[in-house]
Amino acid sequence: MSYASHLNLLQWYGAKELAQTATPDDLAMLSAQLMRLTIEGGDRDSYSTQEIEIADKSIARITAALAEASLVIDSYISRRYELPIADTDIDNTPLPRCCGAMARRLLYDDAVPQEVERRYEETLTWLKDLANNRADLNLGTSSQTRRGAALADFENKQRIFDNTSLKGFVTTQDYRS
């Protein structure tokens, strides 16, 4: 499960940037239009088989970056929240944007622009704050999501210890004499 989607990345960063960063280095640069069509599930019949293969390999790189980013996020939030978090709850948190920022950073490999690196570092800082209880996902107190929210309820109607079962043990009266 990923906290962000290919469509999210397309919306936030654009087809041109995704084509430039997701195309494997040893392959011809993917066009922004083909990247958009591939992500949106559009008609790619006007493109060559080789171009479509490059697009599919680029999508595989995006998928891997999103998966890796999601695993890193899980490692932080699992300290406080039960996983998986419901998709409906995820959409109301910063998690999709965090995942997008991390995946974007991963796609750049070594040549990372300062803005991309800054957003990545801000994301890590927020995740650390979340893990250390200095930030919150605001999911409410649902026992399905928040660790420790549901307290154990102990009830035992049978007395285990009473005067009969404790016969023979030292009492406070024994110490007074």
Token reading at 7: 């469509």
- Overall average pLDDT of the 32-57 stretch: 97
Three-class DSSP category at 155: coil
Conformation bin of residue 14: beta by default, left when phi > 0, alpha when psi is -120 to 50: left
Cross-strand partners of 172: none
Cross-strand partners of 146: 81
pLDDT bucket at 151, cuts 50 / 70 / 90: very low
pLDDT above 90: residue 66: yes
* Percent of the chain residues past pLDDT 90, beyond the cut: 72
Domain ranges for the chain, please list them: 6-131
pLDDT above 80: residue 143: no
Helix (H) or strand (E) run with residue 16 in it: helix 6-22
Q: What is the pLDDT of residue 146?
A: 55
Q: When comparing pLDDT for 57 and 165, which is higher?
A: 57
* Residue 116 CB partners (closer than 8 Å, separation 6+): 101, 104, 105, 108
Q: What is the pTM of this model?
A: 0.79
- Overall average pLDDT of the 69-96 stretch: 93
**Separation between Cα atoms, residue 119 and residue 168, nearest integer Å:** 69
